Structure 1
């Protein structure tokens, strides 16, 4: 963390990530000292203080991405899964390509995903990595943390995996075989000892995250996982209720709803969050709210797979903490947080509009134009994510918080003509150029440049890797 004093000067607008009237700050200046926001207002530069001129720029809290699958960065637009819904897509794309990953392709995929996120103004990535199998020849966890460290990003490893398979087959390929339960638990303890840092300034966290709660482990093991996680002081995460299949499976296998299944196995609480939660019954929303269990909302992936649109308004009203996640690039070909925020804003309005009833049916033609404000979306994508991940000093632009700050230039024609420049990065979508991105007060991106990054070389590496993986998958 930098020990120098830095002054962001003359910002056109400042979004804070806070609720209500505090969602915007007049600024126009922000002082950062020792990685922490020290002052905001009309400030005079100190002798030898570093200046960032934010004239005609807008300041946002850096995005907090609470659900990603970075390995999928080399599976974008894969033809066999492109027009399929979740279950068929899983078989066609991520499962079919699991065995094609080696250390170099996995590392490249992680790097591509992190850079794509970084260039959108994202500081924190919770990667739900489920690429683990018995006798795996490389350490995926170490690669995730090392690539994050090289870029200066905050990495939350949600250690996925399964100790049972959805289908019992004797001759499964090695990459599709479930892990031994004792090995899984031992690896969780190893990862926490080696990487997990609970300090507010930490750039490394570890989370217990079996891939899909209904299918990845027997109930007794899920209880043991939850117990171990809480004894280690780490959080819990998984997929849940992405499609109606979850409701059907929970009823058929356990005679209860998915959320009831989670409650029965100690997988609810303010230290738990689930990705998707698209298909919920009203009583499930109430339980999630009562227990303060969170959501990683992934609107673009849910749309791409035809899963639906999570009801964030009902969830938040019930008391559910809300955050945004990109999900995997194999089901979200624009895997960045600016695009995700744009989609979240539009689709909450679309969802509310779809539910509007005609007047003769007791409703109105009002539609959903007021369903979610830009300020709501910024709060979900920053403060909401920090809350869910337990990052108590991150997620908002206010005095005393860590300086995780994105400064957008808005100098592309996409943003010309805005009457309110503050909303541009969300309302207009696209990718706004970064004047600067700070993480823990350290400038990671400046004038839209990541030091040492050769994008053209990375593009060629990605093209070569895709060809190699296609050949391996065809064998």
Structure 2
């Protein structure tokens, strides 16, 4: 489908600045970018392939703002645990990952993200066993093969259990090693160009697994390199207690004291934020990756999504690691964001279009990529999702955006990234799904045997 492609006859939801929608419209993609969007039949385009998308909703590709791809092969463990219990159980397993394991997990995880409408994802990888090989390179190759736009963040942990942190000492690194490897990752992989398929960020893991020195120096490194900053923050009440006992303040105030607020920063989760923390984040443009399914799975709580949006905090969605969200469906996150917001704040706390917004242009803004992705506008990247809503599950839902957000996940008729097909008729087209499945199964089996979890 490279070259000129016309999507004709579908309901087009642009997510542009005024949230334009066309009950029947068209999208033209040319040389990887959107060349036209409008109502009614598409104009004649010489040499174009025309795809009839009647019965479908056409949206921007979804944007995932928080994930841990390596966890794909450790799903289904510690299923009834709190966050800290879950981490304590899984850290020893993750300490056994290697390049081959991560490659298989990332390919499977990225493939499933694509199947659920995701065209751009970040990944927060923070476990680096000494004998693990080139795990970041394995992730980059997986994204290339599957065909997704990718923001890789080089994570880290330097605060082991013996020093008062949560992770066991054997999975943490020294600060000099971390900063050197992070700088190398940015130099090796980061592409800041307008057509970039690969960007890199700096991402120490969390206040309870990294030192103050690492957070401070990581922020300096990121700003010297001109890349973004990310970490987990305010996910649980245990974390809030940890920060207050260790640092004498709440998580956001602690990060503010280290230079960790700004429009180049986003935090994963942001569940336990008081009014002053939200106001401070809004004033500085600091973003949040809202992960409703993972937060519910671990019993962490429900983020104040409506309050965050009303304050002007940039908010996107994240599926989070597959070991705390076995479904790993980005479209499901939009539905859960809506339902949980209403459960917390009443029936008008979030609209169906608000939910789609945080899944698309909201996520693009959080990643600092909103000039290129997140909406269907002329000149933007041709990252497009086409959802079929004329089958039994959705055909009688009058509002097609409601069909997408409130209904069951519809068949994904087509997913384009930079104008290239990644999914067609609910199947991956750039990789063999059965081979990916088999490789993932075998990688998971080997890992659990190596970690002593399975025989």
Same fold (TM over 0.5): yes
Alpha-carbon distance, 1:220 to partner: 2.9
CA distance in 2, matches of 1:459, 1:443: 20
Could you say which residue in structure 1 is the equivalent of 2:336? 343
Q: Does 1:37 align with 2:31?
A: no
CA distance in 1, matches of 2:50, 2:122: 31
CA distance in 2, matches of 1:452, 1:404: 16
Could you say which residue in structure 2 is the equivalent of 1:102? 98
Alpha-carbon distance, 1:105 to partner: 2.0
Alpha-carbon distance change, 38 to 100 in structure 1, aligned in 2, over 3 angstroms: same
Is the contact made by 2:352 and 2:401 (CA closer than 8 Å) also made in structure 1? no
Structure 1 residues without counterparts, runs of 5 or longer: 353-367
Equivalent residue in structure 2 for 1:414, among 386, 393, 412 = 393
Is the contact made by 1:411 and 1:433 (CA closer than 8 Å) also made in structure 2? no
CA distance in 2, matches of 1:190, 1:306: 37
Q: Structure 2 matches for 1:206-285, cutoff 5 A?
A: 206-212=200-206, 214-285=207-278
Q: Which moved more, 1:188-197 or 1:216-225?
A: 216-225
CA distance in 2, matches of 1:191, 1:427: 40
Could you say which residue in structure 2 is the equivalent of 1:111? 107
SS at match of 1:96: helix
Alpha-carbon distance, 1:173 to partner: 7.2
Is the contact made by 1:123 and 1:404 (CA closer than 8 Å) also made in structure 2? yes
Alpha-carbon distance, 1:452 to partner: 5.0
Could you say which residue in structure 2 is the equivalent of 1:361? none
Q: Does 1:146 align with 2:125?
A: no
Is the contact made by 2:285 and 2:313 (CA closer than 8 Å) also made in structure 1? yes
Alpha-carbon distance, 1:123 to partner: 0.7
Structure 2 residues without counterparts, runs of 5 or longer: none
Q: Does 1:60 align with 2:56?
A: no
> Where has structure 1 moved over 4 Å in runs of 4 or more?
none
Q: Does 1:288 align with 2:281?
A: yes
Is the contact made by 1:64 and 1:122 (CA closer than 8 Å) also made in structure 2? yes
Q: Structure 2 matches for 1:146-185, cutoff 5 A?
A: 146-168=141-163, 176-185=170-179
Is the contact made by 1:342 and 1:429 (CA closer than 8 Å) also made in structure 2? no
Aligned residue pairs total 448
Equivalent residue in structure 2 for 1:323, among 311, 316, 325 = 316
Q: Structure 2 matches for 1:116-135, cutoff 5 A?
A: 116-133=112-129, 135=130
Alpha-carbon distance, 1:126 to partner: 0.5
SS at match of 1:425: helix
CA distance in 2, matches of 1:455, 1:38: 32
CA distance in 2, matches of 1:190, 1:283: 37
Q: Does 1:83 align with 2:80?
A: yes
Is the contact made by 1:165 and 1:215 (CA closer than 8 Å) also made in structure 2? no
CA distance in 2, matches of 1:159, 1:116: 22
Alpha-carbon distance change, 31 to 452 in structure 1, aligned in 2, over 3 angstroms: closer
Q: Structure 2 matches for 1:263-412, cutoff 5 A?
A: 263-352=256-345, 368-391=346-369, 392-412=371-391
- Normalized against structure 2, the TM-score is what? 0.94
RMSD: 1.9
Alpha-carbon distance, 1:371 to partner: 1.1
Alpha-carbon distance, 1:423 to partner: 2.6
CA distance in 2, matches of 1:460, 1:191: 30
Q: Which moved more, 1:244-253 or 1:452-461?
A: 452-461
Q: Structure 2 matches for 1:10-49, cutoff 5 A?
A: 10-11=9-10, 13-18=11-16, 22-41=19-38, 42=40, 43-49=42-48
Deviations 1:25-68 (A, max 9, x none): 34511111222212122322223211111111110110010000
SS at match of 2:393: helix
Deviations 1:411-468 (A, max 9, x none): 54322321122332211133x2222111112222222232253333433433333333
Is the contact made by 2:145 and 2:431 (CA closer than 8 Å) also made in structure 1? no
CA distance in 2, matches of 1:22, 1:459: 38
Equivalent residue in structure 2 for 1:435, among 403, 407, 413 = 413
CA distance in 1, matches of 2:132, 2:272: 37
CA distance in 2, matches of 1:195, 1:472: 30
